[in-house]
Each structure stands twice: as C-alpha cells, then as structure tokens.
Amino acid sequence: MAKPSPSHAGNPALTALGAAIRERRAKLGISQEDLAFKAELDRSYIGGIERGAHNLSLINLCRIAQSLDLSASKLLAIASI
C-alpha cells in the first residue's frame, strides 16, 4: 500500500484532482474498488488519491483517466489544475 505523501498531502491541486476523480467515478456509478480494478491499482491508493493524500505519478493519472473514459488532460481540466 502506498503511503501518503507527507510533504504534499492536502495540496490544493491534489485535493482538486481527487475531487474530480471522485465526482467522475460517482457519475459513472462505479465504486473505488471497481475503479482500482480497471486502473490496475490498489483500492486504498484510489481512496488516498480522492482525499488528496497521494502525489500520483503521470502513469497512474493516465490509468485512472482512461478507466474513467477521459483523457488525462480532460481530467486535469475538470479539476481546474
């Protein structure tokens, strides 16, 4: 399990991205577990991302965006980053 990023947890950009992921996931009607499975990531990691506790990598951002039927750039735009 990934540990929260102590120097970046709660950063406004990470919080906004997490909220955008959560909102899109809810709109699609899928659980964190379903998103994690589709993105090939751990469910607890998805939860941490949604809380703004993880400074995710570009690869993981792309995996999550694709699993939400979005491009990474569209997901970032939704988050207003």
pLDDT of residue 4: 66
Is 5 a domain residue?
Answer: no
Query: Do residues 37 and 68 make contact, with C-beta atoms less than 8 angstroms apart?
Result: no
Count the domains in the chain. Answer: 1
The string of pLDDT tens digits covering residues 5-63 is: 677 888 999 999 999 999 999 999 999 999 999 999 999 999 999 999 999 999 999 99
Determine, yes or no, domain membership for 66. yes
Enclosing domain of residue 61:
12-78
In a domain, 16, yes or no: yes
CATH number (domain holding residue 23) = 1.10.260.40
Is 2 inside a domain boundary?
no
pLDDT band at 2 (very low <50, low <70, confident <90, very high): low
